[in-house]
Amino acid sequence: MPQVKIVAKNFMDMVASLPALKLDKLFQNAFICEAILRSLPPLAKKYVLHLLYIDVAVPGKSLDDWVLTDGLSKHKVAIDRLIQLRVFTETFDRKKEVSYRLNPTFQLNIQKHIKHGGILPRQPLSSSGSLRLPSLEELDAYAANQWECFLLHLISSSEAEKSTNFSSSMMKIFQRGLLSQRDEKEPPRLTEGGFQFLLMDTNAQLWYIIREYITNSEEHGLDSADLISFLLELSFHATGEAYSLNTLNDIQQTIIRDLADLGLVKLQKGMRESWFIPTKLATNLSISLSDTSSRKQGFVVIETNFRMYAYSTSKLHSEILRLFSRVEYQLPNLIVGAITRESLYKAFQNGITAEQIISFLQQNAHPRVAQRIPSVPENVTDQIRLWESDLNRVETTPAHFFDEFPSRDVFEAACDFARECGCLLWENSKKMWLVTKFESFPQMKEFLRRHKQ
């Protein structure tokens, strides 16, 4: 079964892939430098702070001496990451010994940030009678509801709100590997990648959408460095504070409206001006994918008899569980079902893998079972893997069958030729039968024609 992998890269992976000129442009923003520093592995942060006030290149051997033998692997990871992000520049002497130096622009901005702190290009609006801000609880509920509507729209569930309208930018992201539409008359359907995307945790889903949003914007002429800079800068705004839309240029205002679709910001309008309020989704943009602090509390309990109990009021949770389980009945705050062979076969056919299902159940385990080891019974995880392997026992490959060779010498020569080309699938020397890959037929045909002559 062909698999589609959805890879969610965080901002720093995007930053590392930028050309040198765009990276240098990003380093001119002090907040971007701080965001990059935040994202670094602990050892890499230590190296940056050690070299922060050193204006000459430091020999690589000196850095090697800072770590013990058992820390060499982490040391190499730290150095590689610093070089990828161009925080470190490499120089080599005549003996080809390497030295490292901090990027001067990055170094200067971090020095200023440590000494004086940072001032955002926009300040929050002062409280007034016309400015009624939602509480943090209301803001969290708004962000969760927007994200749920976004994903329900992706599932094309009957539970999704029909009145929800997403911008063309967001709809194009849906079409990039998550939805497919064979005919204009038919509604869009989830692709294999779309099914896999739904089982990812919220943090990983967010990074995937942001990455696709940046790619889509690039295709329309927007500089990716400017977009990444604005998004990372947004992560330094205070959650729940209001910021005037008038402080944003036209492109940034378009971006803010797109982010409101995802629940990263909440838009409000007053008598004279409009403002945006960042939610936790926006202020967590500079947090690593591996950071678990922003993950929600689990809700699923799986028993050894494959029964499933999900303590949730979310429409989205119900729809996601239906992707790989049989939901039997649903109460206002409880979903009851079972994991069956038939429900899993349907999931596997849609491109969802056993490991993704197991990972989803483990990441969303209810607090009562999350502390257990394992949080999902072993007999359940083993059986899920076995049922997947049932579908993968036989793999079909298009091929060509050759027989009735004029002589054994020609047969053996054909086998050797197929083996050298890497297209040999099977041979029977007694009956002089040969099976090769389908795409190799023209070469095999030409080879046999020459040998017959």
Three-state SS across 47-114? HHHHCCCCCCCEEHHHHHCCCCHHHHHHHHHHHHHHHHCCCEEEEECCCCCEEEEECHHHHHHHHHHH
Percentage above 70 pLDDT, the chain: 89
**How much is the pLDDT for 142?**
93
Confidence of residue 165 (pLDDT cuts 50, 70, 90): low
**How much is the pLDDT for 20?**
85
Residues 140, 267, single domain; the answer is yes
Q: C-alpha angle with apex 171: 291 to 189, nearest 5 degrees?
A: 95
Residues 345, 442, single domain; the answer is no
What pLDDT, in 10s, does the model give residues 16-43?
888 888 888 889 888 889 888 988 889 9
β-sheet with 243-244: strand ranges across: 243-244, 274-278, 265-269
Q: Tell me the average pLDDT across 254-270.
A: 90
Measured over the CA atoms of residue 112, residue 113, residue 116 and residue 122, the dihedral's sign is: positive
Residues 315, 264, single domain; the answer is no
**212 has a pLDDT exceeding 80:** yes
Which two tokens mark 288? 């690593």
Residues 279, 311, single domain; the answer is no
- Position 436 in a domain: yes
Residue holding tokens 């990716």?
A: 224
**160 has a pLDDT exceeding 60:** no
Amino acid occupying residue 96: K
**158 has a pLDDT exceeding 50:** no
Query: From CA 301, how far away is CA 24, in angstroms rounded?
Result: 49
Query: From CA 243, how far away is CA 185, in angstroms rounded?
Result: 43
CA dist list (Å): 313 to 75, 317, 333, 338: 46, 8, 5, 18
Residues 243, 362, single domain; the answer is no
Burial environment of residue 362 by CB neighbours within 10 A (0 to 12, 13 to 18, 19 or more): middle
Length of the chain, in residues: 453
**How much is the pLDDT for 430?**
87
Query: From CA 251, how far away is CA 209, in angstroms rounded?
Result: 19
Taking the CB of residue 168, how many other CB atoms lie within 10 A of it? 9
**How much is the pLDDT for 4?**
43
Residues 148, 202, single domain; the answer is yes
Q: Which one is predicted more confidently, 163 or 198? A: 198
Q: Tell me the average pLDDT across 297-314.
A: 94
- Position 2 in a domain: no
Q: Tell me the average pLDDT across 390-405.
A: 83
Q: Tell me the average pLDDT across 308-328.
A: 93
Residues 384, 411, single domain; the answer is no
CA dist list (Å): 139 to 206, 261, 274, 307, 402: 17, 14, 17, 35, 69
Query: From CA 327, how far away is CA 417, in angstroms rounded?
Result: 55
Residues 154, 261, single domain; the answer is yes
SS3 428: strand
Average pLDDT, the chain: 84
Q: Which one is predicted more confidently, 431 or 284? A: 431
What pLDDT, in 10s, does the model give residues 81-128?
999 999 999 988 888 889 999 999 999 999 998 888 777 778 888 766
Q: Tell me the average pLDDT across 60-82.
A: 90
Span of 151-155, 281-285, 295-299 with lowest mean pLDDT: 295-299
Inter-residue contact 206 to 235 (CB < 8 Å): no
**60 has a pLDDT exceeding 70:** yes
Q: Which of 391, 411, 436 is the last residue of a domain?
A: 391
Residues 227, 140, single domain; the answer is yes
Query: From CA 248, how far away is CA 230, in angstroms rounded?
Result: 10
For residue 50, the enclosing domain spans: 11-116
Residues 179, 279, single domain; the answer is yes
- pTM > 0.85: yes or no: no
Amino acid occupying residue 116: H
Span of 57-66, 122-131, 176-185 with lowest mean pLDDT: 176-185
Count of domains for the chain: 4
Q: Which of 368, 391, 414 is the last residue of a domain?
A: 391
Confidence of residue 3 (pLDDT cuts 50, 70, 90): very low
Q: What is the DSSP string of 259-308?
A: HHHHTSEEEEE-SS-EEEEE-HHHHTTTS-TT--TTPPPP-EEE-TTSEE
For 81, phi then psi, to 5°, come to -65, -40
CA dist list (Å): 77 to 19, 73, 84, 86: 21, 6, 10, 14
Residues 253, 275, single domain; the answer is yes
Q: Which of 391, 411, 434 is the last residue of a domain?
A: 391
Percentage above 90 pLDDT, the chain: 36
**How much is the pLDDT for 341?**
95
- Position 163 in a domain: yes
Say how far residue 248 (Cα) sits from the centre of its chain. 28
Span of 170-174, 243-247, 335-339 with lowest mean pLDDT: 170-174
- Position 128 in a domain: no
Indicate which CATH number applies to the domain containing 104.
1.10.10
- Position 371 in a domain: yes
- Position 17 in a domain: yes
